[in-house]
Amino acid sequence: MHELSMADAIVKTVIEAAEKNDAIEILEVTIEIGQMTMLNPEQLKFMLEVLSEDTILNGAEFNMELIPIEIECLSCGFKGEADSEELDHYIPVINCPNCEEKNMNITAGRECNVKNIKIEKSDEDA
């Protein structure tokens, strides 16, 4: 639902980094999306492609990497990946895989991280 504003922020971040590194073209962008965010990766990708038109990002490939939810259970002390039963396509319900309780801290899965980019740059400088 807020894919557009996220995509906008991602595009700004990528273009800034590309310009700083004298890119002439951006080939790939890798983005990590936590499974616990309210973001739909496919929608986000679509928005990114739309916003890329007429920028240095045009034609770049967007790799969306899903980050699983990790928890720390406050009932039994379990640490690790959570069970997320998909209620519908973006709202996981979370239980501790060890004791099935729901009282826990979330330690991973809330990311929307621009991880890295692959760029083409002129070889003349050195």
DSSP string, 16-80: HHHHHTTEEEEEEEEEEEETTSS--HHHHHHHHHHHHTTSTTTTPEEEEEEEPPEEEETTT--EE
* Phi, psi for residue 11 in degrees, rounded to 5: -60, -45
Of 31-39, 46-54, 56-64: span binding another protein (CB under 8 A): 31-39
14 binds another protein (CB under 8 A): yes
- Please identify, among the stretches 30-38, 57-65, 68-76, 112-120, the one whose residues bind Zn ion according to the rule CB under 5 A: 68-76
User: Do 97 and 104 meet the contact criterion of CB atoms below 8 Å apart?
Assistant: no
Q: Is 106 in the site for Zn ion (CB under 5 A)?
A: no
Q: Is 83 in the site for another protein (CB under 8 A)?
A: no
Exactly one of 19, 66, 81, 102 binds another protein (CB under 8 A); that residue is 102
Binding range to another protein, per CB under 8 A, among 33-41, 45-53, 54-62: 33-41
Residues 83-102 that bind Zn ion (CB under 5 A): 96, 98-99
